[in-house]
C-alpha cells in the first residue's frame, strides 16, 4: 500500500514538473545585438553574408551586392573604370568612386557622399537610392542597425496592448526573450503569422516573435508610388497601328520625292548609322534633306544604328563603359543634328556572352533619348537555339526599357539553309510571336514583315543533293511566274502561294510573298493586339501591299473584323 502511494505521488510530481516545464515561460533575456557590428535588416529579415553597411557622417552606404539583390537588379559596376551606373526610366547616373560629382543624364550633380570602394566592393549612398527607388533607409544608432523598407504598398503594423508582451527569438514561450520592456501603445511591424504568433520587427530593428494575444494589428496607408506602374509610351500614331518600314541606304539616301507619301505608312527607318570599330566610332550616312522631306510628308524618322554585325567590334564596345557612353553621345548628337524622331537599334550577330552588356547599353541609351522626346526601338529575332542570332537577346529585360521591339519574323529558311522553304511560314511566325509575348507586352511589339522571297535551286551534284538560293523582291517573283507561265498553288502550311519549275536537272522552288501572304500575316497584329508592323524593306514591295497594310492597320479595328471581311467566322 505504501509502495502504491509512493508511486502515485511520484507520478503526480512528474506530471506537475512536466506541466511546469511546458507551461511556464522562459524568462531569460538575451541580446540579438553584437556590440560594434552594424546589422542590416530588410523588411522582416536580417541580411548577412553580403557585406556590412557603412555609416559615414550619419549617411548610410550600402554594399553593392545588397543593392543589386534587394533594390536595383539593373545596377552595374565597371571594375575597370571604377564606376557605378544606375539606370531608371528617365535617368542614367554614372558615379566614380570617391568622386562627389555624379553625372546624371550627362550633366554634373553634386552628391552628399560619394561611392566608396571598401575591400574591393563598391558602397552606394543610400540617400541617392531613396531618391530613385521606392525604398526607405533608416539608421538606428542605439542598435547599430540599418533598416530598409519598401514603400509603395500598405504595411501591416501591430500595437502592443499588454505590458506582458515580449519579443522572443522563436515562436515559443520556451524561447529566450529579445525584448522585455515593451509598453502598451508601442508599434511594431508585422510580417508573418501562425495560429498563436506574429513575426515582428521593433522600431529599433530587432526581429522576433510575439504572441498574438498581446497585439492589435492594422494596415498603414500606402506611401510612395509603386515602382511597377506602367510608363506611358513616348509616341504612337493618331490612327490605328504603327506601320514602320526600313529604308535601306547603301551609299546615298533615296530621294523621298521618288515615292512621296505612302498610304498608311507612319515611320521611315533609314539604315544610316554603323559602329565601325572597337573604339566606338559611329559612321554616319544621314541626310537632313531626307528628314525634312519626310516630315513634310507626315512621316516620323527613326534612324537605325547597327553593330556592323561584327561580334568582335560589338564585344569591345559593349564591355567598356567609356565606349558605350561615347557611342550614345554620338547618336544623341546625330539625332539632334538631323532632327530625328527616334532611334532603332539593330544589333545582330552578338556573342551570347555579351547578352547582359547589350541590355546594359540599351538601358544607358534609352533614358537619354526619351529625355529628348525620342522613341527608342530595338530589333530582335524570334527565339531559337542560335547563340549569336537569338540567345544574345534578353528580350524580357530589353522590353522593359524600349518603347517598341521589332520582331524580325523572317529568315525561317535563310540564304544558306540546307533545306528549301518559306522565308516565314504563318505558323512559324505566329508561334514566334506567342513565345515573345510571354516576356514582352503586346503593345510594344512590331511584327516584322518580309517584302522578299527566296528562289531555291535543288540539284544533284556528285551524287548529293545541293540546295542554293537567291533573294528576290516581289516584282522579281512575279516576273518569273509570268515569264515561265507558272501556276500558283496555295499552300495552307506556309500561308503563301507556291510555285516550282525545272530547268535542266535543277528544280526551282518559290514560296511567294504577295498581297495575300502579307494580308494573312499582318492579321496577327489584331489577333494579338500588337503595336503594328515593321517592314523589310521599302522598294522590295509591289504597290498593292500598301493598300493591304493600310486597310488592316488603319481601317480594321480588330481581328473579328478581319475574319469577317475574309469570309471566316471567329
Q: What is the CATH number of the domain that holds 88?
A: 3.30.457.10
Distance, CA of 100 to CA of 387 (rounded, Å): 41
> 162 Cβ partners below 8 Å, 6+ apart?
184, 213, 214
Closest residue by Cα to residue 205 from 35, 27, 38: 38
Q: Does some domain include residue 179? A: yes
Q: Is the same domain home to 311 and 169?
A: no
Q: Please indicate, yes or no, whether residues 282 and 161 belong to a single structural domain of this protein.
A: no
Looking at the domain assignment, is residue 60 inside a domain? yes
CA distances for 298 relative to 249, 256, 548, angstroms? 20, 12, 20
According to the model, what pLDDT value does residue 484 have? Answer: 98
Domain boundary among 121, 150, 179: 150
What pLDDT was estimated at residue 6?
58
In a domain? residue 7: no
Which of 224, 255, 277 is the last residue before a domain boundary? 224
Q: Please provide the average confidence, as pLDDT, over all residues in the chain.
A: 94
Q: Are residues 349 and 375 in the same domain?
A: yes
- Same domain for 134 and 247: no
**Full domain range(s) for residue 316:** 242-451+514-565
Q: Are both 377 and 401 inside the same structural domain?
A: yes
Based on the domain organization, do 140 and 166 belong to the same domain?
A: no
Query: Per the confidence metrics, is the pTM higher than 0.75?
Result: yes
Three-class DSSP category at 437 = helix
Q: Identify whether residues 250 and 203 lie together within a single domain.
A: no
* Residues 501, 503, 506, 509, Cα dihedral to 10°: -20
For residue 282, being part of any structural domain is answered with yes
How many CB atoms are closer than 10 A to CB 545? 23
Residues ≥6 apart with Cβ < 8 Å to 206: 32, 33, 143, 145, 167, 178, 179
276 and 352 housed in the same domain: yes
CATH of the domain at 341: 3.20.20.80
Strand segments (E) across 248-320: 267-270, 273-275, 282-284, 300-306
**Residue with grid cell 534578353, as numbered in its chain:** 394
Q: Within a domain: residue 488?
A: no
Say if residue 330 is in the same domain as residue 414: yes
pLDDT of residue 220: 80
- Tens of pLDDT along 297-313? 999 999 999 999 999 99
Instruction: End-to-end CA distance of the chain: give it in Å, rounded.
Output: 93
Total count of domains within the chain: 3
Run means of pLDDT, 10 residues per run, the chain, 570 residues: 59 51 81 93 97 95 98 98 97 97 96 96 97 97 97 93 96 96 96 96 98 92 51 81 99 96 98 98 98 98 99 99 98 98 99 99 98 98 98 99 99 97 99 99 99 98 96 98 98 98 97 98 99 99 98 98 85
Provide the pLDDT for residue 388. Answer: 98
Asked whether 152 and 134 are in contact (CB, 8 A), the reply is yes
Last residue in a domain, options 116, 150, 184 = 150
**Does 493 fall in a domain?**
no
Q: What is the pLDDT of residues 200-235, one digit of tens each?
A: 999 999 999 999 999 999 888 665 544 444 455 579
Contacts for 274 with CB less than 8 Å, ≥ 6 apart: 282, 283, 285, 305, 306, 307, 308
Same-domain pairing of 286 and 321 = yes
pLDDT tens-digit readout, 419-452: 999 999 999 999 999 999 999 999 999 999 999 9
Q: Does 379 fall in a domain?
A: yes
DSSP 8-state symbol, 189 = E
pLDDT for res 144: 96
* pLDDT score at 245: 99
Is 104 found in the same domain as 196? no
Q: CATH number, domain at 205?
A: 2.30.30.40
| 205 and 252 together in one domain | no
Amino acid at each position: 500500500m505504501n509502495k502504491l502511494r509512493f508511486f502515485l505521488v511520484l507520478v503526480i510530481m512528474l506530471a506537475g514538473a512536466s506541466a511546469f516545464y511546458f507551461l511556464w515561460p522562459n524568462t531569460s533575456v538575451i541580446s540579438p545585438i553584437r556590440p560594434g557590428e552594424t546589422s542590416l535588416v530588410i523588411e522582416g529579415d536580417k541580411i548577412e553574408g553580403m557585406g556590412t553597411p557603412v555609416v559615414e557622417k550619419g549617411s548610410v552606404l550600402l554594399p553593392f551586392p545588397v543593392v543589386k539583390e534587394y533594390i536595383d537588379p539593373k545596377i552595374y559596376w565597371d571594375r575597370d573604370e571604377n564606376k557605378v551606373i544606375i539606370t531608371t526610366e528617365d535617368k542614367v547616373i554614372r558615379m566614380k568612386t570617391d568622386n562627389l560629382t555624379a553625372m546624371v543624364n550627362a550633366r554634373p550633380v553634386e552628391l552628399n557622399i560619394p561611392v566608396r570602394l571598401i575591400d574591393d566592393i563598391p558602397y552606394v549612398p543610400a540617400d541617392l537610392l531613396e531618391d530613385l527607388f521606392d525604398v526607405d533607409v533608416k539608421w538606428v544608432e542605439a542598435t547599430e542597425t540599418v533598416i530598409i523598407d519598401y514603400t509603395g504598398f500598405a504595411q501591416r503594423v501591430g500595437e502592443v496592448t499588454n505590458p506582458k508582451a515580449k519579443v522572443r527569438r522563436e515562436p515559443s514561450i520556451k524561447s529566450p526573450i529579445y525584448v522585455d520592456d515593451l509598453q502598451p501603445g508601442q508599434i511594431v511591424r508585422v510580417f508573418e503569422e501562425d495560429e498563436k504568433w506574429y513575426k515582428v520587427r521593433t522600431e529599433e530593428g530587432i526581429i522576433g516573435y510575439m504572441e498574438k494575444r498581446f497585439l492589435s494589428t492594422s494596415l498603414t496607408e500606402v506611401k510612395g508610388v509603386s515602382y511597377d506602374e506602367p510608363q506611358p509610351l513616348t509616341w504612337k500614331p493618331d490612327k490605328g497601328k504603327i506601320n514602320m518600314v526600313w529604308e535601306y541606304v547603301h551609299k546615298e539616301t533615296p530621294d523621298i520625292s521618288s515615292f512621296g507619301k505612302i498610304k498608311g505608312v507612319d515611320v521611315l527607318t533609314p539604315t544610316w548609322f554603323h559602329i565601325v570599330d572597337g573604339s566606338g566610332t559611329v559612321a554616319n550616312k544621314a541626310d537632313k534633306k531626307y528628314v525634312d522631306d519626310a516630315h513634310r510628308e507626315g512621316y516620323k524618322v527613326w534612324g537605325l544604328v547597327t553593330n556592323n554585325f561584327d561580334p568582335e567590334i560589338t564585344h569591345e564596345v559593349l564591355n567598356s563603359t567609356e565606349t558605350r557612353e561615347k557611342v550614345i553621345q554620338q547618336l544623341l548628337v546625330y539625332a539632334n543634328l538631323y532632327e530625328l524622331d527616334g532611334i532603332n537599334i539593330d544589333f545582330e550577330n552578338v556573342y551570347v556572352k555579351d547578352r547582359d552588356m547589350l541590355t546594359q547599353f540599351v538601358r544607358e541609351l534609352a533614358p537619354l533619348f526619351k529625355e529628348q522626346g525620342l522613341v527608342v526601338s530595338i530589333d530582335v529575332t524570334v527565339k531559337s537555339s542560335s547563340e549569336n542570332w537569338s540567345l544574345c537577346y534578353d528580350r524580357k529585360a530589353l522590353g522593359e526599357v524600349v518603347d517598341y521591339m521589332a520582331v524580325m519574323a523572317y529568315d525561317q529558311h535563310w540564304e544558306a539553309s540546307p533545306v528549301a522553304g518559306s522565308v516565314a511560314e504563318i505558323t512559324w511566325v505566329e508561334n514566334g510571336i506567342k513565345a515573345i509575348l510571354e516576356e514582352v507586352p503586346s503593345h510594344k511589339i512590331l511584327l516584322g514583315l518580309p517584302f522578299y522571297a527566296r528562289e531555291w535551286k535543288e540539284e544533284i551534284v556528285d551524287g548529293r543533293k545541293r540546295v542554293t538560293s537567291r533573294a528576290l523582291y516581289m516584282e522579281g517573283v512575279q516576273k518569273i511566274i509570268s515569264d515561265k507561265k507558272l501556276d500558283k498553288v496555295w499552300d495552307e502550311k506556309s500561308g503563301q502561294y507556291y510555285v516550282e519549275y525545272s530547268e535542266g536537272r535543277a528544280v526551282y522552288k518559290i514560296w511567294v510573298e504577295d498581297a495575300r501572304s502579307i494580308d494573312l500575316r499582318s492579321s496577327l497584329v489584331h489577333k494579338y493586339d500588337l503595336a503594328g508592323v515593321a517592314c523589310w524593306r521599302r522598294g522590295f514591295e509591289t504597290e498593292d501591299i500598301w493598300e493591304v497594310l493600310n486597310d488592316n492597320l488603319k481601317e480594321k479595328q480588330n481581328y473579328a473584323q478581319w475574319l469577317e471581311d475574309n469570309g471566316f467566322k471567329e
